[in-house]
Chains A and B, each alone.
Chain A
Amino acid sequence: MKARLRPDLAVIADSVTPGASLLDVGCGDGALMAALRDEKGCDARGMELDPANVAACVAKGLSVIQGDADKDLAFYPDKSVDYAILSQTLQTTMRPDKVLEELLRIGAKAFVSFPNFAHWRGRLSLLWNGRMPVTRLLPVPWYETPNIHHLTINDFRALLSERAITVDGQWFLSGGSRCSASAANFRAEHAVFLLSRG
Chain B
Amino acid sequence: MSEAPILDESQVLELADPLPLDGGQSLSGVRIAYETHGTLNAAKDNAVLICHALTGDHHVVSNHPRTGKPGWWVRMVGPGKPIDTDRFHVICANVIGSCMGSTGPASPAPDGKPWGMRFPVITIRDMVRGHVALLDALGIARLHAVVGGSMGGMQALSLAADFPERTAAALVIASTARHSAQNIAFHEVGRQAIMADPDWHEGDYYAVGETGGKGPEKGLAVARMAAHITYLSEEGLTTKFGRRLQDREAKTFGFDADFQIESYLRYQGLSFTGRFDANSYLYITRAMDYFDLAEEHGGRLANAFARSKARFCLVSFDTDWLYPTAESRNVVHALNAAGLPVSFVELSAPFGHDSFLLDVPALDRVVEGFL
Contacts and interface: CB of A to CB of B under 8 A. Distances in A.
B10 interface: no
B370 interface: yes
B337 A63 contact: no
B311 A63 contact: yes
Interface string A70-82: 0000011100100
B336 A57 contact: no
B260 interface: no
Interface in A36-77: 43, 45, 51-52, 54-55, 57-67, 75-77
A58 B343 CA distance: 7
A51 B345 contact: yes
Interface size bracket, A side: 20 to 34
Nearest to A64: B343
Contacts of B347: 51, 55
B197 interface: no
B246 interface: no
A75 B333 contact: yes
Given A58-B370, A59-B369, A60-B369, A76 B336 contact: yes
A63 B343 contact: yes
A60 to B, nearest CB: 7
Nearest to B342: A63
B304 interface: no
Contacts, number: 58
B22 interface: no
B313 to A, nearest CB: 6
Given A65-B332, A75-B333, A77-B337, A55 B344 contact: no
A27 to B, nearest CB: 11
Interface in B325-342: 332-333, 336-337, 339, 341-342
Interface string B154-188: 00000000000000000000000000000000000
Contact of B365 (A59, A62, A66, A75): A59
Nearest to A65: B344
B7 interface: no
Classify the secondary structure of A's interface with B: mixed
Contacts of B345: 51, 54-55, 58, 64, 66
Contact of B362 (A51, A63, A76, A80): A51
Contact of A62 (B333, B343, B362): B343
Contacts of A76: 336
Contacts of A58: 313, 343, 345, 365-366, 369-370
A65 B333 CA distance: 10
B333 A61 contact: no
A51 to B, nearest CB: 5
B343 A65 contact: yes
A59 B348 CA distance: 17
A61 B369 contact: yes
Contacts of A75: 332-333, 336-337
A19 to B, nearest CB: 15
Nearest to A62: B343
A59 B339 CA distance: 21
A67 B313 CA distance: 14
A52 to B, nearest CB: 8
B324 to A, nearest CB: 14
Given A65-B332, A75-B336, A76-B336, A59 B341 contact: no
A45 B366 CA distance: 16
Nearest to B330: A75
A64 B370 CA distance: 11
Contacts of A45: 341
User: 9 closest A-B pairs (Cβ-Cβ)?
Assistant: A59-B369, A63-B341, A75-B333, A54-B345, A65-B344, A58-B369, A66-B345, A58-B343, A63-B343
16 contacts: A43-B341, A45-B341, A51-B345, A51-B347, A54-B345, A58-B365, A58-B370, A59-B365, A59-B366, A63-B311, A64-B343, A64-B345, A65-B336, A65-B343, A66-B344, A76-B336
Given A58-B343, A75-B336, 11 more contacts: A52-B362, A55-B345, A55-B366, A57-B343, A58-B313, A58-B345, A62-B343, A64-B344, A65-B336, A65-B344, A75-B333
Interface of B: 311, 313, 332-333, 336-337, 339, 341-348, 362, 365-366, 368-370
